[in-house]
Structure 1
């Protein structure tokens, strides 16, 4: 069956697909990418290996032009540049990957191939990560996202809103950067200019709660001291990240587990990842930037939906609580689904029917 590997570009079929893309005029290349995606959506399952692999490769080309997408560096990737692809292809690519994940292994070719290799789960994982990139929102300015979050909490979760700290002191921010030897990215500076973390622990965002400048510095110092010169903690192992790196900024933390901003040089600079007190850091399920993450949080509050599999709810005390969808109580007290600003606005502005 030829070469088949875990990446979206690592196959002979992919190489053939990109050879066909290179044969047409540059203006016609977006059309070929779209055709590869639409074939999976229009075909009856089961569909063949070539159709699936081409669709995933096309989706990877779309993802590469979106925030958080990985650049195309595989030798199986296109030799010639792909022009900017239409924004509408993101949704088509995400739908195509949904169908691939649901139906691809109904095809006998892929079933047989997966039986011959242990790489199948890794390939499916690469498909899931591609889809995640395709659904990242277009980032808004951090100050705008926080304004949306603040407005929603003022109206629906006043108990949580009351715990948001005022803006950080610029002198303290500068001193922390000097001590850490790491310059904060613009979106973290903008976030701290809105809120210097929280005055006490609260579940105001889907992951760990944001910290103050002092909290960021204290947690960073602790992790740097623990890692020290211990190579088991401070150095990567193969494809695995280290437990801690001094150029990681812990912007949010709870019980020793933190959401980190990677400030190492390279294409991943500014991305969000996670590190646990008892495990290595990882970025695969992270976010391309703090700005994208806060945009997703604001979108979920205003329009409904979830972030990283958790949904906003309200407690009986008027606090925001993020948890798995369908949960009805918190420690015996009822939870109610958080209202959507979009729905309320429509209700308020639409006149009643006569």
Structure 2
């Protein structure tokens, strides 16, 4: 059995699994994918390497059909198209990866293959990114997500809500696009039609706070000018992204670090990534669109949970504050968990 890399397509067992898909009638291929996922969920401990490899390969096929998923372009992947897979396989695939991660260090074959090697953390990282795609929320329209965020903040953090700016001036939006030479995606246009960033800095989002149209243009111009002094500033270096590209839109920014929307042509157009003032940009742990990100923020406020490891809290002054999960204080003052809309609704007595 040969294994030459850490990806889901880099193993003889995975190649054999994909070959079996090609040899199966198209209508029966979803069943093979399901079997590979269910097998790892129902396997007795400890399970063998082949069970894990097939489950990860199947999960990669499921993820490829959702926003943010990587297309299956490897020569070791299926040679024939994979038909649309049933929607329930998305959750099953995520559960299968959870089990793989939980049991990886216990299975003897996997300990030899990954857990006892220096590449184990890279392998786990690949699984985390794959699972991330499988658990992205189904995006709601941007105005709907903003309405949910607004409603929650009005009720629970009115001081923070007061810092949200009114809608942007459409003429200013158009002028910024002309100056940048970049057309804004529909998600960003809808967002700016709800709020033109914040009137002052506030920790009301898990990542950088959204900025105004003027702030977008200012940060973009600054980065373009700085990058202009570098050699090939918009060219990637191997698999690495450049420090800046003129077709990136800094929709959120703080202290020189920005959450950016990638408007380069290609399958990744519209995705969210991050760029720091002293590092290259990153997209692999970003979001497939602004709509997906705003949906995740609204879900965390309404239903609890976290966004990229940050959880919403209320400060002692009643302001919304996002920070790492399980934090209990901020600068010596207590933090309280943000109330859930869902919990409040569930606690309402039924009508007679």
User: Equivalent residue for 2:217?
Assistant: 217
Q: Distance in 2 between matches of 1:37 and 1:196?
A: 45
User: Equivalent residue for 1:303?
Assistant: 303
Q: Distance in 2 between matches of 1:162 and 1:319?
A: 10
User: Equivalent residue for 2:24?
Assistant: 24
User: Equivalent residue for 2:270?
Assistant: 270
User: Equivalent residue for 1:203?
Assistant: 203
TM norm structure 2 = 0.96
**Superposition deviation, residue 46 in structure 1:** 2.1
User: Equivalent residue for 2:14?
Assistant: 14
**Superposition deviation, residue 117 in structure 1:** 6.3
User: Equivalent residue for 1:2?
Assistant: 2
CA spacing shift, 1:317–1:118, aligned 2, 3 Å: closer
Kept in 2, the 8 Å contact 1:312–1:320? The answer is yes
1:273-311 C-alpha deviation (Å, 9 max, x unpaired): 001111111111100000000000000011110000011
CA spacing shift, 1:238–1:87, aligned 2, 3 Å: same
Kept in 2, the 8 Å contact 1:36–1:54? The answer is yes
* Correspondences of 1:318-329 after superposition (within 5 Å): 318-329=318-329
Aligned residues between the structures: 352
Q: Residue 286 of structure 1 aligns to a residue in which SS?
A: strand
Kept in 2, the 8 Å contact 1:228–1:234? The answer is no
**Superposition deviation, residue 5 in structure 1:** 1.4
Kept in 1, the 8 Å contact 2:114–2:123? The answer is no
Q: Distance in 1 between matches of 2:38 and 2:116?
A: 29
Kept in 1, the 8 Å contact 2:104–2:115? The answer is no
CA spacing shift, 1:47–1:217, aligned 2, 3 Å: same
User: Equivalent residue for 1:91?
Assistant: 91
Please list every run of 5 or more consecutive structure 1 residues that lacks an aligned counterpart in the other structure.
none
**Superposition deviation, residue 183 in structure 1:** 0.6
User: Equivalent residue for 1:340?
Assistant: 340
1:213-255 C-alpha deviation (Å, 9 max, x unpaired): 0000000000010110412744322111111111100000111
Kept in 2, the 8 Å contact 1:5–1:119? The answer is no
Q: Distance in 2 between matches of 1:163 and 1:217?
A: 20
Q: Distance in 1 between matches of 2:116 and 2:191?
A: 49
Q: Distance in 2 between matches of 1:232 and 1:247?
A: 14
User: Equivalent residue for 2:192?
Assistant: 192
Q: Distance in 1 between matches of 2:44 and 2:5?
A: 25
Q: Distance in 1 between matches of 2:231 and 2:211?
A: 28
Q: Residue 164 of structure 2 aligns to a residue in which SS?
A: coil
What is the Cα-based RMSD across aligned positions, in Å?
Answer: 1.5
CA spacing shift, 1:115–1:163, aligned 2, 3 Å: closer
Q: Distance in 2 between matches of 1:109 and 1:232?
A: 45
Q: Distance in 2 between matches of 1:316 and 1:277?
A: 32
User: Equivalent residue for 2:259?
Assistant: 259
User: Equivalent residue for 1:144?
Assistant: 144
